[in-house]
Structure 1
Amino acid sequence: MSSILHARDDPQRPLRQHRGRYRRILRFAAWNLATTWWFELFLPRIGLGGVAARTRSRRMRQFARRFHDLAVELGGLMIKVGQFLSSRLDVLPPEITKELEGLQDEVPPVAFPGIAALAGHELGAPPDQVFASVDESPIAAASLGQAHRARLNPMDAGDTGLDAVVLKVQRPGIGAIVDVDLAALRKVAGWLSHVRLVSRRADMRALVEEFAMISLQEIDYLQEAVNAERFAADFAGDDRVAVPEVVWERTTRRVLTLEDVTAIKITDARALRAAGIDPATVAPVFAAIMFDQLFTNGFFHADPHPGNIFVTPVRAGAGERPWKLTFIDFGMMGEVTPSTRSGLRKLLIAAAARDGKGLVAAINDVGVLMPSADSVGLERAMTQLFARFGGMGFAELREVDPREFRDFAVEFGDVVRSLPFQLPENFLLIIRAMSLTSGVCSALDERFNLWDSVEPYAAQLLRDERGNVVQDVARQALDAAGIALRLPGRLDALAGRLEEGSLEVAVPRLERQAARLERAGRRAASAVVFGALLVSGAIVRADDLAAGNALMAASSLPLLHALWAGRRVR
């Protein structure tokens, strides 16, 4: 046991102990990256994009199934990676998210003797001596730990006022496994950082480091206990929210003891109705609570999946809500800096107002767009997007003719793909929290319209911020005055350049089209040479093996040129 608990004394020890695990993760990543390159980059370059398009859906399902099997077999952070993928309904296709959505429920539990040994080491005595009783069957088995129901001994019960508790214990050896998985993920991120298509849009190394920080915090149960109390303080006096109490006397870095608050799982519609609760009334309350965390408190639950939220019936008077939302599992929490929170509030207000230009300005404030981005095209795209699809719920969007989405993607896809995006610090958790929120709300009410919650919340934010309106107007007036003062000089300079014939007009789209045509011409010529050499080699090879092989080998040179010629032209 001591060797497991102190595996981190030697930084290289986990990698040596789990070398096979490390290699399996890298082999899986390498194979799927190579497959993606072949179908999504190579085949379209040689005119076989139709083949890639026809097989794309099947390939995505195969990838998701293979990753699913790998994650269930290995456990550890691979389960967490799968959870992140399954929650990205906004980015990833349903072939992937659907296959991975039940991943958390398939984690096999650790046998109780191993759990009891680790808990006894942490608490200083076997669990059956520390607690009045411990249920050996887990109520939840997750990738990093598992939970068992227990009852406090009479002395602890008298001190805390609690009786029924949940004992959460880390999986034995999980620290070493997390270290190995992070080492593998860092290696994969290094590979991806050399792929220009990926590196232009995201700093993969930074994303993995953020994921690493989140994962290491999740296996520190003292930090989770602090998070639970901070979350409870944020909602103190709020009759919508309940949080379990921490039993500090029975909590360490690897063992956490909390009040047992088990109730109705938030998406269990049958149980909710049996308790006299309409699931459709739960969705807007849950959405509003998540908005409060993100846009007001700045400290939010980043893993609000259905297993971490209960609907708890309570005694209520006439006109009062007869239930609360009880949050558990505070290992994955996020913080929003004041500047990011301000940008998010502006983004929410702009989205509610269907203001495409304001939305892009807010995206800039948040830091998602890099300073070099030309956002004019994005403003036009967002304005048209709001004009056509703004205000629709998920159910309504499903009824829209897919050709409309396809036409929109064709018209503005190049604009969006050309923009240099980046993910600011902690944004991975913000995206995850909002993705899970929308998924839970849709499960509660199929016709739930997120705009119905966004608009009143945005209106309240707007009323709260009206105190800054005078300052904003004054600032805009000063900006306008500065422009007016500089305008005569700029007009004089422009007139001078016109007279000298030195005025240059940049037309980026035209220049890009010309560059693309030039590259296409080069590649077409090389492709013809490649085909001629390849076919010639195949014909000659029947009579002269050496000459045929030489011609076929030589065909690789014009092929490489056809693929890469002109890549540096801008």
Structure 2
Amino acid sequence: MTDAAAQGAHRARYRRILSFAAREFLAIWWFELVLPRIGLSRVSERTRAGRMQRFARRFHALAIALGGLMIKVGQFMSSRLDVLPPEITKELEGLQDEVPAVPFADIRVVAEDELGVPLERAYAWFDENPVAAASLGQAHRARLSDLDAADTGLENVVVKVQRPGIDAIVATDLAALRRVARWLTRVRIVADRVDAPGLVEEFAQTSLEEIDYLHEAASAERFRENFAEDPRVDTPEIVWERSTRRVLTLSDVTAIKINDTDALRTAGIDPSEVADVFAEVMFDQVFTHSFVHADPHPGNIFVTPVPASAAGERGFRLTFIDFGMMAEVPDSLRDGLRTLLIAIAGRDSRGLVKAAQEIGVLLPSADTAELERALTALFARFGGMGFAELSTVDPREFRDFADEFGDMVRSLPLQLPENMLLLIRAVSLTSGMCSSLDPSFNVWDAAEPYAGRLLRDESGNLIQDLAKQAMQNAAVTWRLPKRIDDIITRVDEGSVTFDTSRLERRLDRLEGIARRIASGVLFAALLIGGALLVPSAPPLGITLVCVSVLPLLHSLFAGVGRRGPR
């Protein structure tokens, strides 16, 4: 494709995204703003769920047709449970699984341009059929050349190659999304709930990191170092000699997919034990290493059978791949998560609200009374239940509670920070995966050991703080008798004086201000009264208007030239 043709294609893509957004905004404007103002709010409310579903289906079709970043936008929207209704988030789940593969000839061109040599020289063998296709790139199996294999100690590898022209596609899509975000700031019903430009910038940062394979490689190395001494976890090794910003070569670590329970049992591995280890490892990422794999779906986690002695008395280890989406946990967020986990373990609704405010999810102005009531009801009804127990609950009860709770949460002034969003994504995927491996899995049981450890840490910190405060109080108490004796001595000697001149001057100024305010009020009364009387009693009205000038002059000029030192 020539440069002119590529530019034309990008302009058409940009216009298609904007025209889609414009049509949807027009529908929102008509149903959510116009109809309620002319007394047809019931029509708006009655059709809302269906309209949201139809919007999600239209966006789903647009994302599949355009590919590129639109797939990521759909995934991003499907996880925004804090600001989007379930009719949208449900429809957009699973978009990644529908991405078509790029023809191998196009992949070859990208790989050879990046590596600077033909594929036949870079690799001894390269599979033309992709292992996986994603929105930004796809993966192929390969085998290193004899020279590279001797240098790295590896032979079989997986090569990730970016889709052709993805940089320009991402730039076009982000430009369109920023334009749409500016439109949203002018829609009050949206602007009051969502910082659209902020969301787009958060999304842009994550997306730009994902198309930089060197950034992903560095994240993989950091994750590997975090678990270097942990027999439960493994990661692929990076072949730096065959990796660039658009091509990433790493050791082939494919094994049993974590959700393939039949294969696990055939290998003599208990799926329920896998669920327990997986939950432990994910909690360790959050609370020990502060660096979390934010996309732990079944395609990114393998279970590798190993001798029991090599896995810490277990016959397997978990192998993580794809480190393009990682979540940092800063100290402030980690402290809030500590409070959150302790509150969840203790079924403490007020503590949970406090944690949400500490993390920054809830604005200080939020009315939390209804939220505390809803959380109390949630804990009372479903707290402590595992998946097996929850599956026995009447679905209608679940649906009614979810609708009420979801509507209430979306009415609050809240918005999840990007890192928090990625963490919630990781936790939700972890919980779902563990429940599929073990129907009796209870996320509360998995969290409670960490909550207990955090409580012990908090107790230790509290004791340290109390000891420090006690030392400070002791020091003040030790110095207090001498300071009191010094003051009494100075009073006896008559050397203690009190300067009230500044206080007197300020009282004078306040008195003057009060008089000027009274003059202003009198001026307004005379002026308005005179204006009202002019039509019916012209002489009296004109007199009052003229007299009103006197209090006006006093209000404006009283005290001028008399201001002394402060």
Give the shorter-chain TM-score range. 0.7 to 0.9
CA distance in 2 between counterparts of 1:365 and 1:306 reads: 32
Aligned residue number for residue 191 of structure 2: 199
CA distance in 1 between counterparts of 2:210 and 2:239 reads: 18
CA distance in 2 between counterparts of 1:393 and 1:223 reads: 38
Kept in 2: contact 1:242–1:325 (CA 8 A):
yes
CA distance in 1 between counterparts of 2:238 and 2:406 reads: 49
Aligned residue number for residue 392 of structure 1: 385
Cα 1:136–1:453 change in 2 (3 A) is same
Aligned residue number for residue 342 of structure 1: 335
Indicate the larger mover: 421-430 or 75-84: 421-430
Kept in 1: contact 2:82–2:409 (CA 8 A):
no
Quote the offset at 1:384 in angstroms: 3.3
Quote the offset at 1:192 in angstroms: 2.2
Cα 1:167–1:240 change in 2 (3 A) is same
- After superposition, residues 216-255 of structure 1 pair within 5 angstroms as 216-255=208-247
The one of 107, 121, 124 aligned to 2:113: 121
- After superposition, residues 41-440 of structure 1 pair within 5 angstroms as 42-43=34-35, 48=40, 51-52=43-44, 55-87=47-79, 95-317=87-309, 320-394=313-387, 396-397=389-390, 399-401=392-394, 416-417=409-410, 419-440=412-433
Cα 1:379–1:94 change in 2 (3 A) is closer
CA distance in 2 between counterparts of 1:319 and 1:155 reads: 35
Quote the offset at 1:292 in angstroms: 1.5
CA shift digits 1:353-403 (9 cap, x unpaired) = 111111111111111122333434433433333223222235544544466
CA distance in 2 between counterparts of 1:218 and 1:72 reads: 19
Amino acid at match of 2:459: R
Kept in 2: contact 1:75–1:107 (CA 8 A):
yes
Quote the offset at 1:167 in angstroms: 0.9
CA shift digits 1:214-234 (9 cap, x unpaired) = 100111111111100000011
Kept in 2: contact 1:200–1:421 (CA 8 A):
no
Amino-acid identity (%): 69
> TM-score of the superposition, structure 1-length normalised?
0.75
Kept in 2: contact 1:15–1:22 (CA 8 A):
no
RMSD value, Cα: 3.0
Aligned residue number for residue 477 of structure 2: none
Kept in 1: contact 2:232–2:312 (CA 8 A):
no
Cα 1:135–1:372 change in 2 (3 A) is same
CA shift digits 1:242-296 (9 cap, x unpaired) = 1000000111111110000011111222222222223232222222211211222
Quote the offset at 1:68 in angstroms: 2.0
Structure 2 unaligned residues grouped into runs of 5+? 472-566
Aligned residue number for residue 528 of structure 1: none
Quote the offset at 1:411 in angstroms: 7.7
CA distance in 1 between counterparts of 2:385 and 2:358 reads: 26
Amino acid at match of 1:391: G
Quote the offset at 1:161 in angstroms: 0.6
The one of 10, 17, 25 aligned to 1:33: 25
Kept in 1: contact 2:130–2:138 (CA 8 A):
yes
The one of 442, 447, 451 aligned to 1:458: 451
CA distance in 2 between counterparts of 1:414 and 1:111 reads: 45
CA distance in 2 between counterparts of 1:71 and 1:103 reads: 8
CA shift digits 1:491-515 (9 cap, x unpaired) = xxxxxxxxxxxxxxxxxxxxxxxxx
CA shift digits 1:395-454 (9 cap, x unpaired) = 544544466567767987786455322333522322222222223223323443221211
Amino acid at match of 2:254: T
Cα 1:121–1:90 change in 2 (3 A) is same
Indicate the larger mover: 294-303 or 198-207: 198-207
CA distance in 1 between counterparts of 2:386 and 2:344 reads: 14
Name the larger-Rg structure: 2
Quote the offset at 1:162 in angstroms: 0.3
Quote the offset at 1:145 in angstroms: 0.7
Quote the offset at 1:341 in angstroms: 0.7
CA distance in 2 between counterparts of 1:301 and 1:398 reads: 28
State how many pairs are aligned: 470
CA shift digits 1:18-52 (9 cap, x unpaired) = 11111211222232333344445555565655555
